[in-house]
Amino acid sequence: MTTVQTTTAARKITEPKHTMKLGIIGLGKMGGNLALQAVEKNVGVIGKAQSKKAELEQQGVKIVSDYKAFALYLEHPRIIYLSLPAGPTVDSVIGELLPYLEKGDVVMDGGNSFYLDSIRREKELFTKGIYFLDCGTSGGLEAARHGACFMVGGKDEGIKIAEPILKSLAVKDGYVHTGQPGTGHFVKLVHNGIEFGMLQAIGEGVSLLLGGGNGFNLDLAKIFKNWSNGSVIRGWLIELMEKGLREQDFNKIESYIEDTGEVNWLVQDALNKEIPIPVISQSVMELFKSRAEDSDTYKAIALMRHGFGGHPFGKDEYIAKERKNSRIAGV
């Protein structure tokens, strides 16, 4: 493995003094928003992308197209966040990046990778002296922009290096070191399963409100606003439901729901370990049904998913492909 000299004289990119620096590979919706938040908090940010992103550069994010310039900007120990689709892309990018890293650098996978893939990647990188952290990231686009929720697994030494940046980018109490390598993505996987169950229950509630009464003409947006204030079921998903009802024509929403398949892994894992998870399992089955049936329940779920993650309405070939390729290890 070759290394990169990091002296001031060797640097080709100069910038104002920052207390911390962060490299981000993957400047899509999540990675781009995280980069903008970091810049606002006086973190020096460099992104790796094949094309210019003027809207990010205008706000202080440095963007380069090659790994050498990317690595030269970051001071050792480098802290690098991958905001990439799960699966072979993560391994490919790590392989391209590795020649420009040094012992003690930290690579964080902020995507929804399968936790067994993360355990394998951590072992491979640690033999080369690189710390790998599986960084489950939640909260959607809004959180990436204003304060995320991080669930991070990895060795204590790597955590100590990356923790100051993660805490600065997390909402209050939104950062936790979950433990050994793999635990961050495992905890995020369980989180996503709980999310599916909650979405299903709210969606079914919408279906009841629209069709279960005695011909009642209910104002759903007002009801969800009421439920957001003081009720037992108040929370962000309820708030997103109200917001979506006010901004979208509910009747025109496609009820076909795409997903990248992570909760399928959780169900398979639970079956192998003989742990009963009937609600989460049924929520996956209901999501499959959305691709064959049209219903208010699925429209409501699609509306909330669009609200927190910008997920598309209707079919999406890219997501469908990711669903088949995003897990490498078996269970």
| pLDDT tens per residue, range 138-175 | 998 999 999 999 999 999 999 999 999 999 999 999 99
Question: Mind listing the pLDDT tens digit for each residue in 183-199?
Answer: 999 999 999 999 999 99
Encode the chain in three state secondary structure.
Answer: CCCCCCCHHHCCCCCCCCCEEEEEECCCHHHHHHHHHHHHCCEEEEEECCCCCHHHHCCCCEEECCHHHHHHHCCCCCEEEECCCCCHHHHHHHHHHHHHCCCCCEEEECCCCCHHHHHHHHHHHHCCCCEEEEEEEECHHHHHHHCEEEEEECCHHHHHHHHHHHHHHEEEEEEEEEECCCHHHHHHHHHHHHHHHHHHHHHHHHHHHHHCCCCCCCCHHHHHHHHCCCCCCCCHHHHHHHHHHHHCCHHHCCCCCCCCCHHHHHHHHHHHHCCCCHHHHHHHHHHHHCCCCCCHHHHHHHHHHHHHHCCCCCCCHHHHHHHHHCCCCCC
Residues 262 and 241: their CA atoms lie apart, in Å, by 23
What average pLDDT does the segment 106-118 reach? 96
- 12 has a pLDDT exceeding 70: no
Query: What percent of the chain clears pLDDT 70, i.e. is strictly above it?
Result: 94
Q: What are the boundaries of each domain within the chain?
A: 8-180, 188-325
State yes or no: is 195 an active-site residue. yes
In the predicted model, is pLDDT for residue 331 greater than 70? Answer: no
Interval 202-231 mean pLDDT: 94
What topology is assigned to 8-180 in CATH? Rossmann fold (3.40.50)
- Tell me the pLDDT band of 226, cut-offs 50, 70 and 90: very high
User: Could you report the per-residue pLDDT of 245-276, keeping only the tens digit for each?
Assistant: 999 999 999 999 988 888 999 999 999 999 99
Query: What pLDDT, on a 0 to 100 scale, did the predictor assign at position 330?
Result: 65
pLDDT at 275: 97
Given the residues 122, 195, 242, 258, select the one marked as catalytic: 195
Mean pLDDT of 79-94: 96
Between 177 and 326, whose confidence is greater?
177
Mean pLDDT of 126-138: 97
* Residue 242 confidence (pLDDT) above 50: yes
Active-site annotation holder among 48, 62, 188, 299: 188
Q: Is 188 one of the annotated active-site residues of the chain?
A: yes
Mean pLDDT of the chain: 91
Q: Give the architecture-level CATH label for domain 188-325.
A: Orthogonal Bundle (1.10)
pLDDT tens-digit map of 16-69:
566 799 999 999 999 999 999 999 999 999 999 877 788 899 999 999 999 999
Does the structure show a pLDDT above 90 at 319?
A: no
Q: In the prediction, which pLDDT does 15 show?
A: 52
What band does 79 get if pLDDT is binned at 50, 70 and 90?
Answer: very high
Average pLDDT over residues 215-233: 96
Tens of pLDDT, residue by residue over 272-290, are 999 999 999 999 999 999 9
